[in-house]
Chain A
Amino acid sequence: MKKFLSLLLAAMLVMSMAACGTDTPASDDTPAGDDEVSEVTSVRILLPHIGDQSYMDVTANAAKLLAAKYGDAMDVQVVEMGDDEADWEPANMQAADEGHDIIISGNWQYEGAMLAVAAEYPDIMYLNFDYSSAEANSLDNVYAITYAAHEIGYLTGVVAGVKSQTGIIGGVVGQNNAGMNQFMAGYIQGAADANPEIKVIITYVGSYTDPATAKEQTIGMLNAGADIVWGCAGGSGNGVFEAVAEARAAGDETVWALGVDTDQYVSMSAQPELANTILTSGLKNCDVAITNAVTAMLEGTAPFGTQEMLGYATGAVGLAENDYYLANMTEEELAAVKALTDKVLDGTTKVVDELATPGVFDKYYEQYGLK
């Protein structure tokens, strides 16, 4: 038995070495040269997972937009790297070895794995679709973009400020950090621009997967008089919809929830009583931004080695203006929202950014927080 096992192991070792032997020339055969680019551009989008009905799925949707735009001239695929951090660098390494023209990955969590590999493959064009560290992304073959989260907050805040009848609005946030408070500072500013008398309650769930606690906090806000609550807390945000749905079922049709990242009215549509609480959502249109960035890369106009923050004016962030939203906003309310959001579009309104000027959230919350 022992002998058989050792024979088996030896055989496997030989086989795997043989496999390596044939693999290496194969990958060398695949050129990443310029003549290849002119025919079929090969694009890979590397994500830890898809199917979150939110951020990852919007990002993955870029593959569809690119395929629609370029048709046969582009071979674009989404690669799931898995949630284990140790697998991200090998996944990037493998994608680079396969010799694609453009590799799209990044985001604060797994940009490190991408950048480590990008430095070794200067011929491949990299797009970091949601960068966090500016210094790390200064490589010559990396184009890094991010989204104006504060502007998402502002747009959502304007809707909340315009729609609120009690003059009290809430924000249920996943965790208390600068990134999340960047949303919230904009939210308060937007609401205050719409209604200078606005009062805001912000709570932190402390987790992105605890809808029950988010629900309790939302019920508390509603009891304190809030009538619009923005769930900005990943999976915990579902608790906000549950609490608002309960209040609406009890007869208070003036209370609303707001969603984030994707059009959550659409992703919740199979549960009408939950979906019907969602007036609108603040959108991070990663798919649109990626498509624009890839176009710029192919046309040679992408500013490699630099980082860009994409705001409302580029279409990278926005509001979910679906039929349900339009049906539940009056003409005057829509006009009021448009008047304020147009000012962001043309640059007359500068939205405060917690990441650029730390402390601005505290200042706003001090002024407008419900005492």
Chain B
Amino acid sequence: MANIMDSFLSATFLFIVIRVGVPLLYASMSAYVASIAGIPNIAVEGIMIFGALFGVYFSAITGSAWLGLLGVILIGVVMALVMAFFTMKMNASPIMIGIALNLFATDFSVWLLMLWTGTKGTTATLPSKVLPTVNIPVIKDIPILGEIISGHYFLTYVCIALAVFIYILVYKTPFGLRMKACGLDEHAAESVGIKVNKVRLIAIIMSAVLAALGGAYLSMGYMSIFSSNMTASRGWTGIAANAVGGGNFLIVVLTTVVFSFAQGVVNRLALTALPSELVNIIPYVCVMLAMIFLSIKEMKKNKAN
């Protein structure tokens, strides 16, 4: 037991936490960006599946991982336009569209898989490419720190950069303020001259591209092939993290980090003789605890007021 505790304090463990946490962070950022602009995106899971599949497919037909990545961004934009069309032009409920897109992506991806590879399991028969692993010069030679933050997949660093970008965008720019205004009250936003639909369209596009990148992380780095439904509910975990955060980006990121730690602990404890059912609930228990903690805080704040 002692050596298990030790392994949680090691640099390798933190490296693993980052590795398992990145797809979750993509998902929670995706959910966050859309929800603060007032269009909840619950299609994160479905868009991730498409991102994962199309990245592999485009990299296979073009022979380049970078063109594959471009394809991922494109499919994200296409999914965003579909969502925007139905929610903003046709006034459909974003929740219904989200459900529809999730169901659609799950089955349509398998159909495409069948079309392209003749099988429904994996893209193992496609000559797909993976994005490179990045060793950061100088930092990689620093003991401990180098072990933790160097040597990750390319999309890991993109994810971190995007997190910083979103923080600055939402909290430090006028556009971020407009996004929040649209989320709080679209009529009020409109009355002060904000083009609500335009702001929301941009938010949805950002959201869908983030989700698609999260999928590509899984199939073009973490794994080297797509296998059906490989996102395994990571999108939903992201949506949960966003719900815990309640509009505060830092709490959303923090919650995702807690989930990632929990997932890392689960993966480590799986190797022990502890009952797997018990171990597998750790992330969910963390969600519950985080929710309880936040609502207590909220209650205290309300009382003080």
- Spot the interface stretch: B119-127, B176-184, B186-194, B291-299: B119-127
B76-90 residues at the A interface, CB under 8 angstroms: none
**Given contact pairs A217-B271, A369-B273, A212 touches B218 in the complex (Cβ within 8 A):** yes
Contact code string A205-222 (vs B, CB < 8 Å = 1, else 0): 011011111011101110
**Given contact pairs A217-B267, A221-B271, A270 touches B127 in the complex (Cβ within 8 A):** yes
Closest 4 CB pairs of A and B: A210-B232, A204-B276, A51-B120, A216-B267
B97-154 residues at the A interface, CB under 8 angstroms: 114, 118-122, 124-127
B42 CB, nearest partner CB in chain A, Å = 20
Q: Are A212 and B223 in contact, CB atoms less than 8 angstroms apart?
A: yes
Which of the listed residues B125, B222, B267 has the most CB atoms from chain A within 10 Å of its own CB? B267
Q: Are B271 and A203 in contact, CB atoms less than 8 angstroms apart?
A: yes
Contact code string A172-205 (vs B, CB < 8 Å = 1, else 0): 0000100000000000000000000000010110
Q: Are B121 and A51 in contact, CB atoms less than 8 angstroms apart?
A: yes
Complex partner residue of A220 from B223, B227, B228, B268, CB under 8 angstroms: B268
Q: Are B232 and A209 in contact, CB atoms less than 8 angstroms apart?
A: yes
With contacts A53-B120, A209-B227, A217-B267 known, what are 9 further pairs, Cβ within 8 A?
A: A53-B121, A211-B227, A212-B223, A216-B16, A221-B271, A242-B222, A245-B224, A267-B124, A270-B126
**Given contact pairs A51-B119, A235-B122, A235-B228, A212 touches B222 in the complex (Cβ within 8 A):** yes
By a CB distance below 8 angstroms, the chain A residues around B114 are 51
Complex partner residue of B227 from A216, A238, A270, CB under 8 angstroms: A238
Q: Tell me if A54 is interfacial: C-beta within 8 Å of chain B.
A: yes
A2 to B37, CA, bound (A): 42
Smallest CB-CB separation from A235: which chain B residue? B227
Q: Tell me if B196 is interfacial: C-beta within 8 Å of chain A.
A: no
B97 CB, nearest partner CB in chain A, Å = 23
By a CB distance below 8 angstroms, the chain B residues around A206 are 276, 280
Smallest CB-CB separation from B227: which chain A residue? A235
A212 to B218, CA, bound (A): 7
A353 CB, nearest partner CB in chain B, Å = 22
A351 CB, nearest partner CB in chain B, Å = 23
Q: Tell me if A38 is interfacial: C-beta within 8 Å of chain B.
A: no
**Given contact pairs A176-B276, A211-B230, A53 touches B119 in the complex (Cβ within 8 A):** yes
Q: How many A-B residue pairs have CB under 8 A?
A: 99
By a CB distance below 8 angstroms, the chain B residues around A267 are 119, 121, 124
A213 CB, nearest partner CB in chain B, Å = 7
Q: Tell me if B251 is interfacial: C-beta within 8 Å of chain A.
A: no
A274 to B12, CA, bound (A): 24
A203 to B127, CA, bound (A): 31
By a CB distance below 8 angstroms, the chain A residues around B276 are 176, 203-204, 206
By a CB distance below 8 angstroms, the chain A residues around B20 are 212, 216
**Given contact pairs A51-B119, A176-B277, A235 touches B229 in the complex (Cβ within 8 A):** yes
Q: Tell me if B270 is interfacial: C-beta within 8 Å of chain A.
A: yes
A211 to B270, CA, bound (A): 15
B193-227 residues at the A interface, CB under 8 angstroms: 218, 222-225, 227
Q: Tell me if A22 is interfacial: C-beta within 8 Å of chain B.
A: no
Q: Are A271 and B124 in contact, CB atoms less than 8 angstroms apart?
A: yes
By a CB distance below 8 angstroms, the chain B residues around A268 are 124
A224-254 residues at the B interface, CB under 8 angstroms: 224, 235, 238-239, 242, 245
By a CB distance below 8 angstroms, the chain A residues around B118 are 51
By a CB distance below 8 angstroms, the chain B residues around A242 are 222-224
A270 to B267, CA, bound (A): 29
Q: Are A203 and B121 in contact, CB atoms less than 8 angstroms apart?
A: no
**Given contact pairs A52-B121, A176-B276, A238-B122, A209 touches B270 in the complex (Cβ within 8 A):** no
Q: Tell me if A64 is interfacial: C-beta within 8 Å of chain B.
A: no
A268 to B232, CA, bound (A): 22
A274 CB, nearest partner CB in chain B, Å = 7
By a CB distance below 8 angstroms, the chain A residues around B227 are 209, 211, 235, 238
A68 to B126, CA, bound (A): 30
Complex partner residue of A209 from B222, B224, B229, CB under 8 angstroms: B229
A204 to B267, CA, bound (A): 10
Q: Tell me if A338 is interfacial: C-beta within 8 Å of chain B.
A: no
A220 to B126, CA, bound (A): 29
Could you give 15 example pairs across A and B, Cβ below 8 Å?
A201-B271, A204-B270, A204-B276, A207-B232, A210-B230, A216-B20, A221-B271, A224-B271, A238-B124, A239-B223, A245-B224, A267-B121, A270-B124, A271-B124, A369-B273
Smallest CB-CB separation from A365: which chain B residue? B273
A169 CB, nearest partner CB in chain B, Å = 13
A209 to B45, CA, bound (A): 14
B3 CB, nearest partner CB in chain A, Å = 10
